């Protein structure tokens, strides 16, 4: 049978079940059939009992949950904790008693309550009429302590959460991320080996460039997580199978950040020249992209033929794409002593520095490859098509030893531009968010992609930039976390809209078309930076909570994790049947580093992460 035909059998993931089971021939309709087979008396009795239980449940909810907490602590698996139980034996030396459940885990599981109640209440939150009890975040007024209230009213005192996580307890959290990686890797290995992306539901794969994208993106994650066996088999594939001498069109940006970046960082971590040789090969093959009238590169390159072209419908390139390949090409020049790579990307930065059409340092989203001018002007965002321009201004400055003042000036100006034009507070709870400007009009729309910004701001402050950058980082971090907490699955949608008008009953709205989650890394990336610099344990707890929800709503039983269509429906989040390579390259890596107590594991004073989470050395440091 062709693997794709199994898509019909996708089952929903109930709380406690832990993952999608794409083997069971279980269908929703069978429940309806069974229901219809019951007698009228049986049906009436069931309905009557259900209504009675529902009323009792609502009336005594806090008491009921308190009692259940007492019963379930240390008892049978319930809700999100269920996925923890199999992990614990792996981390215990033989003969030792099992580890006690971590207090912070209890706290997190308590917040969402027992599965049955949880689903019912989550359903309620799914409607647009959210009551005062349902309010999601209460950011207190000045001078008062900050308390986060979950979307259905359960109070989590962040200070208490901090106390509950002590450094020594993180070993099992690290092991849980490794386990998630192994599960993702198993799916890739079984059904997509050597291909670009796993399609976990249909137990097959998809090709983008045909270059083993997931495998290459995941190499340094395996090294960092000390998954030696997995790394060994992946390296063997790179040595024996990976060839760039192929007649394929690749996207310059994506192949630079994932493939070139992944190979360079793996070379640095391992010292194995196999990866450097492959990096040189792909780097050289990408160079035709820069042969344009303006020297602003084309979006696509045929790495076999040595030709390049823009997309079919335009001669424009995306600003974020042409300005987020610099870390990798500069490093390639340093390693090879061939200046051509650095020269072409530096030229792009110099041109963009001089261009008109910016708004207080904020750049438009498109640039023309013929005349080198911005096009489609008037839209300013820190989301898709502009995001990593800002990230790479700061990171190039850091990579080069903080000497290139023009990069720093452009970065500082852009952050002032964000504050002046894009920063607003939501209503009723005053969450700080970054919106967009379109032809002079402010729009309270924020992509999940923007959640890289707290981490970048914190990195800047750590490197001596103004302290108020760190204040803003903390505020935005809270907002990005709320983008998860306020959803019924505890996972963020791709895009949110903030309410700004007095009288709003909730801060965040999500449009139907924006409810998907692609397993993106930006929020856990920022949590990693914020934790490294502040050591505030709440950031770890937030990351832990997000990992639990990935496990609960996106894990596929036969291996792998899947993107989902609807973060607002915990009963049927609707799998998209795709595991993006950045889930292994970035999301799980940042979670691992977040839970690691070893600040020297990829020290932020020695390495700078590219925008795909591949660490590259800071030049003046002694790595
Ligand atoms: C990744 O490829 C990179 O993080 C990029 O900068 C943005 N998009 C994805 C992850 O969301």
Please give the order of strands across the beta sheet that includes 307-309. Answer: 249-251, 300-302, 307-309
Q: For a pocket test of ligand 1, which of 221, 495, 520 has the largest count of ligand atoms closer than 8 A to its C-beta?
A: 520
From the candidates 494, 507, 569, 612, give the one annotated as an active-site residue: 494
Whether the pLDDT of residue 68 is over 50: the answer is no
Among candidates 387, 363, 397, 528, which has minimal Cα distance to 458?
A: 528
**Range among 80-89, 370-379, 614-623 with highest mean pLDDT value:** 370-379
Of 239 and 169, more confident: 239
Beta bridge partners of 374: 367
Of ligand 1's listed atoms, the one at least distance from the Cα of 520 is: 11
- pLDDT band per the 50, 70, 90 thresholds, residue 56: low
Share of the chain above pLDDT 90, in %: 72
Whether the pLDDT of residue 415 is over 90: the answer is yes
pLDDT digit string (tens) for 456-477?
Answer: 999 999 999 999 999 999 999 9
Burial of 56 per CB tally in 10 Å (0-12, 13-18, 19+): exposed
Cα-to-centroid distance, 384 and ligand 1 (Å): 9
Cα-to-centroid distance, 407 and ligand 1 (Å): 22
CA 473 – CA 423 distance, rounded (Å) = 12
Work out the number of other CB atoms within 10 angstroms of the CB of residue 313: 6
CA 182 – CA 227 distance, rounded (Å) = 9
Cα-to-centroid distance, 583 and ligand 1 (Å): 10
Of ligand 1's listed atoms, the one at least distance from the Cα of 387 is: 6
Whether the pLDDT of residue 311 is over 50: the answer is yes
Whether the pLDDT of residue 110 is over 80: the answer is no
Angle (nearest 5°) at CA 562 between 506 and 585: 95
Average pLDDT of the chain is 82
Cα-to-centroid distance, 464 and ligand 1 (Å): 26
Of ligand 1's listed atoms, the one at least distance from the Cα of 391 is: 6
37: tokens are 């087979």
Of ligand 1's listed atoms, the one at least distance from the Cα of 320 is: 6
From residue 479, alpha-carbon distances to 21, 114, 472 in Å are 33, 26, 11
Q: What is the pLDDT of residue 70?
A: 28
68: tokens are 């259940």
Cα-to-centroid distance, 425 and ligand 1 (Å): 26
Of ligand 1's listed atoms, the one at least distance from the Cα of 388 is: 6
Share of the chain above pLDDT 70, in %: 75
Angle (nearest 5°) at CA 460 between 459 and 465: 145
Q: For a pocket test of ligand 1, which of 386, 449, 585 has the largest count of ligand atoms closer than 8 A to its C-beta?
A: 449
pLDDT digit string (tens) for 479-507?
Answer: 999 999 999 999 999 999 999 999 999 99
What does the pLDDT average to over 433-446? 98
CA 499 – CA 430 distance, rounded (Å) = 10
Work out the number of other CB atoms within 10 angstroms of the CB of residue 605: 12
Q: What is the pLDDT of residue 144?
A: 36
Instruction: Give SS3 for 160.
Output: helix
Q: Does the annotation mark 331 as catalytic?
A: no
Contacting residues for 603 by C-beta, under 8 A, at least 6 apart = none
CA 331 – CA 501 distance, rounded (Å) = 48
From the candidates 134, 522, 577, 580, give the one annotated as an active-site residue: 522
423: tokens are 């920063």
Q: What is the pLDDT of residue 209?
A: 98
Nearest protein Cα to ligand 1, atom 1: 612
Q: For a pocket test of ligand 1, which of 522, 581, 588 has the largest count of ligand atoms closer than 8 A to its C-beta?
A: 522
Cα-to-centroid distance, 542 and ligand 1 (Å): 21
Q: Does the annotation mark 101 as catalytic?
A: no
Give first-to-last CA distance, the chain, whole Å: 52
- pLDDT band per the 50, 70, 90 thresholds, residue 40: confident
Sign of CA dihedral 206, 211, 215, 220: negative
217: tokens are 């993106």
CA 426 – CA 413 distance, rounded (Å) = 24
CA 528 – CA 539 distance, rounded (Å) = 8
Nearest protein Cα to ligand 1, atom 3: 612
- pLDDT band per the 50, 70, 90 thresholds, residue 17: very low
Cα-to-centroid distance, 525 and ligand 1 (Å): 11
Sign of CA dihedral 110, 113, 114, 115: negative
- The answer to whether 451 and 475 have CB atoms below 8 angstroms apart is no
From residue 505, alpha-carbon distances to 120, 447, 491 in Å are 21, 21, 21
Work out the number of other CB atoms within 10 angstroms of the CB of residue 6: 17
Instruction: Give SS3 for 445.
Output: strand
Q: Does the annotation mark 229 as catalytic?
A: no
Look at the pTM and tell me if it is higher than 0.85.
Answer: no
What does the pLDDT average to over 77-94? 24
Residues with CB under 6 A from ligand 1: 388, 449, 520-521, 582, 586, 611-612
From residue 584, alpha-carbon distances to 198, 410, 598, 617 in Å are 11, 32, 21, 21
Q: What is the pLDDT of residue 49?
A: 78
Q: What is the pLDDT of residue 427?
A: 98
From the candidates 101, 176, 254, 577, give the one annotated as an active-site residue: 254
Q: What is the pLDDT of residue 381?
A: 98
Q: What is the pLDDT of residue 383?
A: 98
Instruction: Give SS3 for 300.
Output: strand
From the candidates 387, 507, 545, 612, give the one annotated as an active-site residue: 387
Q: What is the pLDDT of residue 33?
A: 62
pLDDT digit string (tens) for 391-405?
Answer: 999 999 999 999 999
Q: Does the annotation mark 254 as catalytic?
A: yes
Cα-to-centroid distance, 208 and ligand 1 (Å): 15
- Scored b (16 or more CB within 10 A) or e, 272-291 reads eeebbebbbbbbbbbbbbbe
Cα-to-centroid distance, 41 and ligand 1 (Å): 56
Q: How far is CA 406 from the centre of its chain?
A: 30
Q: For a pocket test of ligand 1, which of 262, 326, 452, 521 has the largest count of ligand atoms closer than 8 A to its C-beta?
A: 521
Q: For a pocket test of ligand 1, which of 265, 582, 610, 614 has the largest count of ligand atoms closer than 8 A to its C-beta?
A: 582
- pLDDT band per the 50, 70, 90 thresholds, residue 171: confident
CA 275 – CA 281 distance, rounded (Å) = 10
What does the pLDDT average to over 63-87? 27
- The answer to whether 197 and 205 have CB atoms below 8 angstroms apart is yes
pLDDT digit string (tens) for 335-347?
Answer: 999 999 999 999 9
Instruction: Give SS3 for 325.
Output: coil
What does the pLDDT average to over 247-276? 98
pLDDT digit string (tens) for 117-163?
Answer: 223 223 333 333 222 223 233 333 333 333 222 222 222 223 333 33
Cα-to-centroid distance, 16 and ligand 1 (Å): 31
Q: Does the N-terminal peptide bond of residue 428 adopt cis geometry, omega within 30 degrees of 0?
A: yes
- The answer to whether 355 and 374 have CB atoms below 8 angstroms apart is yes
């Amino acid at each position: 049978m062709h693997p794709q035909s199994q898509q019909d059998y996708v089952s929903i993931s109930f709380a406690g079940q832990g993952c999608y089971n794409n083997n069971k021939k279980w269908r929703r309709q069978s429940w309806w059939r069974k229901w219809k087979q019951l007698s009228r008396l049986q049906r009436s009795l069931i309905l009557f009992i259900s209504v009675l239980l529902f009323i009792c449940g609502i009336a005594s909810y806090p008491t009921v949950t308190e009692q259940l907490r007492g019963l379930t602590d240390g008892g049978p698996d319930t809700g999100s904790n269920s996925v923890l139980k199999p992990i614990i034996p792996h981390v215990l030396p033989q003969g030792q008693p099992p580890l006690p459940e971590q207090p912070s885990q209890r706290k997190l599981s308590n917040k969402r309550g027992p599965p049955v109640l949880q689903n019912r209440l989550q359903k309620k939150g799914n409607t647009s009429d959210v009551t005062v009890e349902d309010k999601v975040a209460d950011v207190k007024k000045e001078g008062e302590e900050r308390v986060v209230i979950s979307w259905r009213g359960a109070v989590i005192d962040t200070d208490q959460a901090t106390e509950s996580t002590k450094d020594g307890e993180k070993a099992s959290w690290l092991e849980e991320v490794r386990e998630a990686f192994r599960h993702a890797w198993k799916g890739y290995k079984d059904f997509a080996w050597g291909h670009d992306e796993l399609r976990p539901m249909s137990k097959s794969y998809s090709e983008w460039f045909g270059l083993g994208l997931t495998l290459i993106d995941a190499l340094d994650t395996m090294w960092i997580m000390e998954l030696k066996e997995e790394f060994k088999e992946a390296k063997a594939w790179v040595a024996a199978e990976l060839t760039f001498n192929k007649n394929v069109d690749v996207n310059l940006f994506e192949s630079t950040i994932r493939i070139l970046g992944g190979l360079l960082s793996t070379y640095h971590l391992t010292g194995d020249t196999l990866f450097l040789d492959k990096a040189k090969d792909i780097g050289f093959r990408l160079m035709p992209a820069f042969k344009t009238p303006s020297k602003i590169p084309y979006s696509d390159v045929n790495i076999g033929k040595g030709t390049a072209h823009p997309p079919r419908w335009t001669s424009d390139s995306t600003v974020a794409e042409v300005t987020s390949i610099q870390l990798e090409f500069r490093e390639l020049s340093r390693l090879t002593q061939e200046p051509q790579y650095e020269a072409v990307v530096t030229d792009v930065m110099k041109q963009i520095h001089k261009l008109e059409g910016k708004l207080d340092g904020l750049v438009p989203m498109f640039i023309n490859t013929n005349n080198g001018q911005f096009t489609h002007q008037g839209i300013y965002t820190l989301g898709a098509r502009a995001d990593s321009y800002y990230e790479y201004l700061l990171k190039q400055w850091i990579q080069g030893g903080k000497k290139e003042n023009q990069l720093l000036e452009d970065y500082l100006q852009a952050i002032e531009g964000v504050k002046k034009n894009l920063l607003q507070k939501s209503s009723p709870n005053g969450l700080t968010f970054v919106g967009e400007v379109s032809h002079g009009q402010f729009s309270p729309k924020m992509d999940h992609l923007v959640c890289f910004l707290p981490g970048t701001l914190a990195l800047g402050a750590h490197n001596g930039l103004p302290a108020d950058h760190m204040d803003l980082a903390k505020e935005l971090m809270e907002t990005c976390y709320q983008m998860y907490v306020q959803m019924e699955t505890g996972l963020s949608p791709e895009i949110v809209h903030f309410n700004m008008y007095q009288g709003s009953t909730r801060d965040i709205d999500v449009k139907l078309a924006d409810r998907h989650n692609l397993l993106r890394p930006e929020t856990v990336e920022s949590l990693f930076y914020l934790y490294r610099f502040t050591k505030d344990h709440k950031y770890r707890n937030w990351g832990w909570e997000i990992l639990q929800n990935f496990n609960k709503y996106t894990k596929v039983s036969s291996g792998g994790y899947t993107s989902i269509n609807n973060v607002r429906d915990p009963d049927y989040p609707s799998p998209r049947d795709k595991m993006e390579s950045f889930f292994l390259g970035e999301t799980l890596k940042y979670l691992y580093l977040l839970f690691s107590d070893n600040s020297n594991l990829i020290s932020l004073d020695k390495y700078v992460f590219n925008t795909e989470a591949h660490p590259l050395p800071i030049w003046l440091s002694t790595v």
